Amino acid sequence: MTETPDSTTTSTSPESTTAAARQLLGMKGAKSGETNIWKIRLQLMKPITWIPLIWGVVCGAASSGGFTWRLEDVLKAATCMLLSGPLMAGYTQTLNDYYDREIDAINEPYRPIPSGAISLNQVRAQIIFLVVAGLGLAVLLDLWADHPTFPVTKIALLGGFLAYIYSAPPLKLKKNGWLGNYALGASYIALPWWAGHALFGELTPTIVILTLIYSLAGLGIAIVNDFKSVEGDRQLGLASLPVMFGVTTAAWICVLMIDIFQLAIAGYLMAIHANLYAVLLILLIIPQIVFQDMYFLRDPLKNDVKYQASAQPFLVLGMLVVGLALGHTLV
């Protein structure tokens, strides 16, 4: 007689697999119950947020005009990606979860800290380890590249400082929707771009200004993340844009910031006669606008993740187009 296995104990449903993946990546919609301390630590670091910072390093290397495909340059770039993504972004996300534990208890009670999956002392130790490791790796990169002024270290210090004042009192920039989101946008676009550029070339005022303008598009991306926590922000007095202006108006502010400042960069590329790159950038903006209409503007609370998954690949490809354009025209 053949026994039929109990499907509830011997198989994993697609729903539970998806929830587990979202748990590890630090995405909205995960479930509580994880007990492996290393998986919990990884969840705190939100690996899904590392991607734009890693990509920013690629864009900076491209804009420097000094990157080659020699093994040493590839290893330097990979080390800088480790610095910007797992270490500094991981530090930022862990620090933010530490100071947002009261808000997360309302909006995302399954997160590691409000669920009690990890102690506050363990979280503090993780924050210290990540920032010390990140700054140490930045120093090593500057020594490796023979930088007398240690530009990568300075950028890492600035990033660590911005992360702290974004999340921690008394400044806690995230209490102000405009300042907080711009700090976040600059951290995700400008800072890793500067690190990649400085590693292989000279970081010029032009690159600094252009990437800070590009970061205004990143401000729009940062606003997307505010829609998942409207209720908790409102209860605890955080002036996110959805709380300040309402969901519909904030959604329009978000998409206009994303589109207008990318188009401004396209206009700059035309001004320096990088016309092909400008056209490519505009072609990458068009599908972003389509997905904004399909998903985000219709229901930003429900479709924020779906919109990001659909539209952001075009935004980050546009960043690379701009990096290549600058590397070919300004160097």
pLDDT digits (tens, 9 = 90+) for 174-208: 888 899 999 999 999 999 999 999 999 999 999 99
Give yes or no for a contact between 166 and 184, defined as CB atoms under 8 angstroms apart: yes
- pLDDT value at residue 11: 44
- pLDDT value at residue 112: 93
- pLDDT value at residue 65: 95
Q: How far is CA 145 from the centre of its chain?
A: 26
Q: What is the mean pLDDT of residues 155-161?
A: 98
Q: Looking at the predicted structure, is the pLDDT value of residue 1 above 80? A: no
Best mean pLDDT range from 22-36, 237-251, 312-326: 312-326
Q: What is the mean pLDDT of residues 41-50?
A: 92
pTM, 2 dp: 0.88
- pLDDT value at residue 176: 85
Q: How far apart are CA 48 and CA 192, in angstroms?
A: 16
Task: Output DSSP code: residue 226.
Answer: G
- pLDDT value at residue 227: 86
- pLDDT value at residue 3: 43
Does domain 36-329 sit in CATH 1.10.600?
A: yes
- pLDDT value at residue 110: 86
Q: Looking at the predicted structure, is the pLDDT value of residue 226 above 90? A: no
- pLDDT value at residue 12: 53
Please, is 234 exposed, middle or buried when counting C-beta atoms within 10 Å of its C-beta (0-12, 13-18, 19+)?
Answer: middle
Span 272-306, pLDDT tens digits: 999 999 999 999 999 999 999 999 999 998 998 89
Helices 151-167 and 190-200 sit at what angle, rounded to 10 degrees? 170
CA angle, 221 then 223 then 226, to 5°: 130
Beta-bridged to residue 239, according to DSSP, are 176
Please, is 52 exposed, middle or buried when counting C-beta atoms within 10 Å of its C-beta (0-12, 13-18, 19+)?
Answer: buried
Tell which wins on pLDDT, 331 or 249.
249
**Per-residue CA distances from 284 to 143, 154, 315 (Å):** 38, 33, 7
What 3-state class would DSSP assign to 109?
Answer: coil
- pLDDT value at residue 25: 60
Tell which wins on pLDDT, 221 or 290.
290
Give yes or no for a contact between 242 and 248, defined as CB atoms under 8 angstroms apart: no
pLDDT band at 263; cut points 50, 70, 90? very high
Q: How many CA atoms lie within 13 A of 225 on its CB side?
A: 17
Q: Looking at the predicted structure, is the pLDDT value of residue 19 above 90? A: no
% residues pLDDT > 70 (the chain): 90
pLDDT band at 9; cut points 50, 70, 90? very low
- Of the candidates 8, 4, 80, 91, which has an alpha carbon nearest to the alpha carbon of residue 46? 91
Helices (H), the chain: 7-10, 14-25, 37-45, 50-64, 71-82, 90-99, 101-107, 120-144, 151-167, 177-188, 190-200, 205-224, 230-236, 241-245, 247-271, 275-291, 300-329
Task: Output DSSP code: residue 149.
Answer: S
Q: How far apart are CA 284 and CA 319, in angstroms?
A: 10
Going from N- to C-terminal start, the domains of the chain cover: 36-329
Q: How far apart are CA 300 and CA 226, in angstroms?
A: 10
Tell which wins on pLDDT, 5 or 145.
145
